[in-house]
Chains A and B, each alone.
Chain A
């Protein structure tokens, strides 16, 4: 079992996300995370899916998703040629004796404190999935009051390899 990031460019219609996620459920494909966003073309939405499976699963995901009428394009994203990012928000108590040590870790990870309210502060980190995992592991001893993270978004480096208008 391997992790794989895929990008699906779909028509920006009502219900298109339901259609894609219904297909994944129907065929038993895994969704580890899923992000939908707008794109440079207002008629197109971009769905980024992180999935786990084997090569046969990945090949079926690519082909079955491509068959959806509203799918304009689907492709696998190879980490070595791409930027794959998630966003993390995590809340800590500012009243702890070891808050300074925590701030050191935040700096080491290039994360930022984006809010301080009622004795709590919120850290934001935009990074690869692995780096976010590492940060959460490193700050485990500091009482994470609340945590949430987004699914991945991904972009290949260099010239755009597709034409969504074509």
Chain B
């Protein structure tokens, strides 16, 4: 059948199983939006306040479902506004297809109105990108973009489509959805030898990351931990892969991780790193991290092996496939002595004190978590509140903790929460943010209002840029440069002005009441929580340090 480029584009989206896209219209994508209008019964388009919000929404949609998120923006500023969202997705291996319009092919390279070389700009922050110069190439290029985005280690792919290509007509031949997981069963490494090493270990330790979540390997991981009796700690990207309170789950590790988990990492004789990349927020000192251990590194991306920390053994492959293979050779074991030692360290773990009169961060997080329930999705922005959420959210499902771990994007949360809520209309979505992060993208409340998206935004307002200020306090002699902005924003009024609802809380009882009211609301709610500016994220290992440098107060 003969269709124009825009109709082909929409048909390929349908082929790929896409029924939801996020974006913002503009000159170069007018034809695409005309096709979206025509197909609006099959594809729901959500327009955000800003393209960055749309990119984060596509990201939140993808992270909370495992499907590929789709975002559309116009040329020039529309495309550049996507950049932070694409980079966020790239750093956290989120499958995303970003479609940008561009000026018509004869105008490319002429510094035309709203022209930008977006494929050049996004080269280092995409898995791959394309410019479609002929309408005949459009369908297959888009199919390839979807295949790349979700294959192997997922990531964002950008497809730049000049305006004339969206208008040109050609034959469209439907195709089935591309097979995206051709490499998941391939396992490269001496699995038997590594299993033997694990079987012989006296103090084995599993350190796992986002790869477990991306691979859907929680059960396989649990089987390994239970069979071989191995304690495990997770990175920020893997929160929720194991249940809180399970014997083998030591909790979060790294810069703000549990002291006991970091001690275990330090004392282990065999460290099995699964679907993780030894980032500088976990392996703070690459020479000393796991230095008492033989290190086994399991990852789908061979480029991660020996990148930051040299592994003694490695297996390249999808985590689920690797663990299934590994389990063939793992023998049941018990490590009571090792667990007893960890239990001793646990006694020294940092525990903040509760308060009944004023709001403490851990209480806000724990209360929100409890009231939102088992099925809730939690989304964070970036900074102190993000770390508190990671530390004190005591129940989270594997795809239900959405946070910008690698890029650390302040302003990620609201867009991502909206995307997650649209993908999961029947579960509560709680967006933890702070006065600093919310000011970056608070405009997205208009999106939440327009589409009646009932995201609950919990603002931990300490009136300062908490994480920056914490570092300035510890490392810069309390010289609080540009971290105490003296803002007087009235969050309740702002929420109301946009058509949402706002509450202000000063005590745990007020917060609990506000959370319950918010859960019953049909649209977005902001809950401002007053937090003392001296609250710190603890414990903390300074950059480049080891567990011996842990700061507790």
Interface residues of A (CB under 8 A from B): 14-15, 18-19, 22-23, 26, 56, 59-60, 63-64, 66-70
Contacts and interface: CB of A to CB of B under 8 A. Distances in A.
Contacts of A22: 123-124
Contacts of A14: 131
A85 B9 CA distance: 47
Given A67-B301, A69-B148, A26 B124 contact: yes
Contacts of B305: 63
A14 B305 CA distance: 31
B119 interface: yes
A26 B126 CA distance: 13
A64 B303 contact: yes
A8 to B, nearest CB: 15
A69 B303 contact: no
A14 B306 CA distance: 32
Contacts of A19: 123
A82 to B, nearest CB: 24
Nearest to A59: B306
B303 A63 contact: yes
Contacts of B302: 63, 66
B124 A18 contact: no
Given A22-B124, A23-B124, A26-B124, A67 B303 contact: yes
B395 interface: no
A26 B119 CA distance: 15
Given A22-B124, A67-B301, A69-B148, 8 more contacts: A14-B131, A15-B131, A19-B123, A22-B123, A56-B306, A59-B306, A60-B307, A63-B305
B128 interface: yes
B120 interface: yes
B312 to A, nearest CB: 15
Contacts of B124: 22-23, 26
A63 B123 CA distance: 17
Contacts of B213: none
Interface in B186-240: none
B360 interface: no
Interface string B106-120: 000000000000011
B119 A69 contact: no
A60 B120 contact: no
B392 to A, nearest CB: 36
Centre residue among B120, B303, B307 by max chain A CB count within 10 A: B303
A56 B306 CA distance: 8
Contacts of B131: 14-15
A129 to B, nearest CB: 29
16 contacts: A15-B119, A18-B123, A19-B123, A23-B124, A26-B124, A56-B306, A59-B306, A60-B303, A60-B306, A60-B307, A63-B305, A66-B302, A69-B127, A69-B128, A69-B148, A70-B128
Given A69-B127, A69-B128, A69-B148, A18 B120 contact: yes
B263 to A, nearest CB: 29
Interface string B283-325: 0000000000000000001110111000000000000000000
Contacts of B128: 68-70
Contacts of A66: 302-303
Interface string B46-63: 000000000000000000
Contacts of B119: 15
Interface string B462-489: 0000000000000000000000000000
A64 B124 CA distance: 12
A68 B126 CA distance: 10
A22 B124 CA distance: 7
A59 B301 CA distance: 13
Contacts of B303: 60, 63-64, 66-67
The 9 closest A-B pairs by CB, nearest first: A63-B303, A69-B128, A26-B124, A22-B123, A64-B303, A63-B302, A67-B303, A22-B124, A19-B123
A68 B124 CA distance: 11
Contacts of B306: 56, 59-60
B438 to A, nearest CB: 32
Contacts of B127: 69
Nearest to B151: A69
A90 to B, nearest CB: 35
B134 to A, nearest CB: 13
Output the residue of B131, B148, B301, B307 with the most chain A CB within 10 A: B307
Specify which of B124, B301, B305 lies most central, judged by the most chain A CB atoms within 10 Å of its CB.
B124
A60 B148 CA distance: 21
A65 to B, nearest CB: 9
Contacts of A67: 301, 303
B408 to A, nearest CB: 18
Interface string B4-18: 000000000000000
Nearest to B316: A63
A99 to B, nearest CB: 48
A64 B127 CA distance: 11
Interface in B445-463: none
B68 to A, nearest CB: 16
